[in-house]
Amino acid sequence: MLSDKIEYQIFGTDVQIVEVLLDEDQSVISEASSMNYMQDGIVFDAHLGDGADPDQGLTGKMLSALKRGISGESYFVTHFHNQSDKKAKVGFSAPFPGSIISIDLSLHDNEIICQKDAFLVAARGTTISATLTKKLSTGFFSGEGFILQKVSGDGLAFLNCGGTVVKHELNDESMRVESGSLVAFSKNLDYKVEAQKCKNMLFSGEGIFLTKLTGTGVVYVSSMPFNKLAEKIISVIPESKDKN
């Protein structure tokens, strides 16, 4: 199924909103609880799986939902559809401070791999499923588990992540990334986790393992993964209580 060709605008800096402008009979799909506002004419409905194939039977829908459940996401995806005879807007926001980035899947061989919590919104016709990391050591040591998300299609997809996002283009090269900071990467890049030297493990403060990506493609990296932000907040709570 070809994806709907949608217009959009991203607002804000620290806690962003992506506003999608839908033509008559156009739709987008989103994670649960992502919608921020919508104009008259927009209706929404929860679907098992991603609903990319409208002719998919119940068994196919359940399998699609199961793949999402494996990745730690909701079994249901919400569809927002413009049933009016004029253009209408619907806005989506991330559940934590950070950035929203747009990715044209047609420019990435119709597929991108992302962390399981990164997907926010996409044009109707996009498929979201789970994919296993290629090596068991990656799942054990990266701190991100075995499951990543695969976002497939030929239209626009929007990812959300903590802090600022930097896009790196690799040309038969390698780079190492702190595992929690890795937002998304091209499907053809090799992905594995490497242990640091013992001295660095103990004294660098950079963690025990880094993710190494090798090949030709793109890598999106965030400056403040949500898990780091949460850890920092939790670490100062006892201090705040003691002061009171």
pTM of the model: 0.81
Q: What is the DSSP letter of 187?
A: T
Confidence of residue 49 (pLDDT cuts 50, 70, 90): low
Cα 161 from chain centre: 7
- E strands within the chain? 7-11, 17-22, 27-30, 35-38, 42-48, 76-82, 88-93, 99-104, 111-114, 119-123, 127-132, 147-152, 156-161, 165-178, 182-186, 190-195, 209-222
> Which pLDDT value is given to residue 89?
97
Q: Where are the domains of the chain?
A: 7-235
- Range 32-46 average pLDDT: 93
- Judge residue 218's burial from the number of C-beta atoms within 10 Å of its C-beta, 0-12 exposed, 13-18 middle, 19 or more buried: middle
Q: With respect to CATH, is domain 7-235 assigned 3.60.160.10? A: yes
Q: What is the mean pLDDT of residues 42-50?
A: 82
% of the chain surpassing 90 pLDDT: 45
